[in-house]
Every structure is written in C-alpha cells, then in structure tokens.
Amino acid sequence: MDIALIGIGKIAIDQHVPAIAASPDFSLAATVSRHGRVEGVESFTEIAELLAARDDIRVVSLCLPPVPRFEAAAKAIRAGRHVMLEKPPGATLAECHALIKLAKEHKVCLFATWHSREADKVALAKAWLADKRLTSLQVTWKEDVRRWHPGQDWIWEPGGMGVFDPGINALSIVTEILPDDIHLTEATLDVPANRQTPIGAELSFYHPQGARVGAIFDWRQEGEQIWTIEAVTDQGTLTLLDGGARIQIDGVEDAVKDENPLAGEYPRLYARMARLLSTGGIDMDLRPMIHVCDALALGRRNSVAPFIE
C-alpha cells in the first residue's frame, strides 16, 4: 500500500522513513512538510495539496507536533484516508475523541501509536505480571532534553507537554503491562521560569489493589540516561530497563537478547497498522494521554531555573 508521511522532522527521518522502507506492507509515496524532504519521494507543502493531488494514497502517517495534528488528521479523515498518529495522538483529549467520532462517521481506520509499547521486552513483562499481586511500581524516566530534542521549541509551548513528551512513553508501557487500571492522585511539576511546560514531574497513582505506584520524569539528566520501570510483586521483582529493551526478574537478565532491541518498535507499529487496515476499525487507547492531562490539571507547579538551550 502507498502511504504518505506528514511532517518530516527528526522522528520521521530517524524512525518512520526507515520503518516504511523495511515494511512489506507499505511504500512511501509522498511527504508533506514545509521544510523537510525525503530524497526521491514526491513532496507537498500542505496536506490539502496532497489530498487533492493523490487520491490513490489511502493511508497517511502523521508526525506533526501535537497542536497542529488535529487539523491535519481531520482533513485526511474527511477525505476518506486512513490515519496513523504519532504519539501523543493529540494536544487534548477532546481532540482525540473528535477524531474517533470523525473516523467512525467516515468509516476509516484510526490508529494512535505508542511506540514504547513495542519495545522488545514489554510483552514479556505484561505476561509475567498478569497473575501476580503488585506491591509497588516505580517509574524513573530521566534524560537530557538537549540531546533528544535539540531546537524543538514547540515542546515548551502550551500543548507541547514538556517532559511528558518522553514521560508519556513510560505511561504507555505502564498502562500496557499492568492488569489493573490506575489513575493519578497527585503531581508536582517543575516548570522553568521562562517556559510554559514542565521540565520535571513527580506523580502518584491510585491502584485498586493498594499498590504504591509512582513516577519521576526529569529532562535535566546529564550523563547516563535512565528509562526504568520496577514492579515489586508477591512473587518477585520485575525491572524493565532501557525503555523496555531489557528485562530482569529478581535481578537476573532475560537470556534472549535482540541485537538492536529498540529497532523493532516502529516496524512493529507499521505491521499493526497493516493488520488494522485488513480488519477495519479504530485503535485509540487514550489511557497514557489521560494520565498526562490529569497531571497537568492536578499538578502543583514549582517555578525552577530558566531553561536555556
């Protein structure tokens, strides 16, 4: 199937373009971007131009920042195109629900992707936790914003989510691997004096079985980057490391190792999109987005030092 990629920035070039190139299901037929291009691929500057000129392209993958994403997705759906959304699926929950309603009306597929759920050991973690009683779960997600988001000022503006841009990856894993749903009870947000979105956050959650569940997100991390989820249960301790690429049970590393365990995330997303197209329907799990919105609503804000890139 021909597919169009909307928004040619860092994530598109680093992940989506190689994943599509390796896909047995899709061929990159066009792009839409005001600045970015993919060599050898037809390009447009506005999505309306693509939709008018290439009626043969029935699937679009949106890699735009969250704020402009809704308008582009709505145009594509109204034009009868199937839509794949980079995370987060929108800037607000209302937008996400509006897209679901629109997709149902136009009978097209809609897929909110959570790439971290496709990390190598996430499925194994989910299976291991399925029959165990959780005592506590702690997320530690610390990285250097200068390394991973250079020059991306949109993340500091309203709707950009700040540290929740990576933090929502952790929340997408947590909501995938836990047998029980959780919800936020309190949050503390560190917001730079010169920015609109947080650079750090600490979250606490309610768990229906009484387990202690918390998360720490920080974008000021220097040196080692940390993406860890530790789950203590009545039958041992599970630790996901490196964003789900590695797993330990009671400190023992899983013996089966992938040469490049994170490389499969986006290829697996495109394979899932292909399956969704074959069966029809909508795949829009909004639980990670709900946690972020709750944190922004309930969070106590601390003003911290200005962030200067």
Residue 269 lies in a domain: no
State the virtual CA torsion across 54, 59, 103, 16 in degrees, nearest 10: -130
Lookup: tokens for 177: 């691997």
Residue 219 lies in a domain: yes
Q: Which regions of the chain are under pLDDT 70?
A: 255-263
* Contacts of residue 128, Cβ cutoff 8 Å, sequence gap at least 6: 238, 249
**What is d(CA 112, CA 134) in angstroms, rounded to the nearest whole number?**
28
pLDDT of res. 258: 57
pLDDT of res. 254: 81
- Domain with 298 in it: 116-255+293-304
**What is d(CA 150, CA 40) in angstroms, rounded to the nearest whole number?**
27
**Could you tell me the CATH number of the domain that includes residue 80?**
3.40.50.720
pLDDT of res. 4: 98
Report the number of distinct structural domains present in the chain.
2
Query: What pLDDT digit, counting tens, does each position of 173-194 carry?
Result: 999 999 999 999 999 999 999 9
Q: Which of 87, 112, 137 is the last residue of a domain?
A: 112
Q: Based on the domain organization, do 105 and 212 belong to the same domain?
A: no
Q: Based on the domain organization, do 135 and 185 belong to the same domain?
A: yes
pLDDT of res. 243: 96
As annotated, the active-site residues are 87
Q: Based on the domain organization, do 138 and 240 belong to the same domain?
A: yes
Residue 282 one-letter amino acid: I
pLDDT of res. 307: 96
pLDDT of res. 192: 98
pLDDT of res. 263: 58
Q: Which of 62, 85, 112 is the last residue of a domain?
A: 112
**Could you tell me the CATH number of the domain that includes residue 148?**
3.30.360.10
Coil/strand/helix, residue 270: helix
